[in-house]
Structure 1
């Protein structure tokens, strides 16, 4: 700004405003020593700023339709712009007194429409001249898509629409898309799956019982399963065999420390993701009809289990490929004791404080690893109904909840806020309680808030400390 001012005027100081050269005019000069209105009149321009508002007693310049900004906004709010008269007072002879705007499509009068409006309705707007296209014109008589084709030097071709009719079926799962929707798919999951898998199987065969698996069928009563949980086993076979599944530690106790694939030792204490960590190997792979039964499970290295993949039972890996890893571990590696939960007979991984998540929650709530014995019936008098919560049946538990939500003071129906009291009774209890601490300053009976002092004396103490620190 200052660089431009120095270049234009030769000084960094801003020039004072110059009044208009015309007598009886208190406006500042805009150009040629004249204000905007007198400059337009001297130039012979047809600008509206050279006219005055048509309202009586208002000499402000015209904004639109012979009205100033204030009266134009007022008539616009009242809906009187279509009948607003045009004034010829103080207007040059060559200035047109009427401004007529017509729709370029049907020729209708555009009085009352916003400035710059060229068409009264969308139906009057021109349409694209491209092949079999009825879109709105963006430029050069073409829509935006055909205009882009022309600018790229391509031949104008028909635009294929991807919109579908309302309530059509999803292109991936087959469910209705929905009322008022123009999408081809019912959700973004179906759209992404259809984009990734153009031709994909939606059904399969169970490798154990031979039943047909619907990959898109609901699982466990939930929503539609767009990604199958298992492509090899049906739900029944998967639930039946998962109950018999054994972990790698259980297989080590049952069969020993030898790998079932390469025959070398599986070091104890090696944690995942080390390639020598112990994993469960399916002797007959699930893809070839195997199951999770204990007879089909064996201990193996992680690297051997990955190398086997879906090879048939009896496949063995060359021990020379794994022997360097085992020798390196036995030479440099130290056995790591896997941490376990401190609760007795619990082999889970500890989450915090040496306990797993289940026993930590139980210890925090009940103070012990064991759950307390639940009473057989409701603890209320003369009630033998089963327990709902807190040792009470459903009826007495509801009454207990209602009693907690009301103030414990007699003749008070307000909701309880703290200590079983409503807000007003709790504030009254705070002010009148016997064990209320009092400010340690002499002759002060206010309640202590911080460090044995009330708010006033604690503020004074802080100010004194700051003054001593600053040396003042």
Structure 2
């Protein structure tokens, strides 16, 4: 380093470049703290042994010749200390609750018993972990799925959210696109999303509502909702067309009053 023309740290046997007041950054910080830069420290070498400079420490050196743990100890206290940093904890292979075969997580318990211990200060029996692992069964007769919500497994709960029907069996038939050979899921106006976008971009106009057929079906008891699905119009548009044609509209559900 001396041959390069750049001064090195003025502390004997310290190799790093001088950064300020003739000291390397480490000795300068130490000198600024108590007026004494201290002695030389072990520096990182290129090639050769790369283990920590502390006798008996087999960790790889990373800074100033020390491993991260000894370097941090030296930086804080000025002395890296002995090789032992922290006594190794004995390995724990399983939960300490009798009868529980789940792996250890913390405090001598598995995750389930540790969570129970945090909540109630009592880890409980092995049945706690078994319930967490297996869970209650789905309430639908014949279903062996694990409980997800409202007493149902994931499949039946999803079906409940879509159709309010949780009976075991095939899923409800979904409405599909009306275009020939398509089969994609219905999006709007009787078409899938792709065909609907093409229809809108083409500027095509839809066929007018057959008011006569709609009125006849309505008089026979059909609802505006069923007619909307049949003629591919909204229920509001169906009712507007029926009113315009002079068809008496049956009273619907009374409006909900909100406070």
Structure 1-normalised TM-score?
0.23
Structure number with the bigger relative contact order (C-alpha 8 A, sep ≥ 6) is 2
Structure 2-normalised TM-score?
0.36
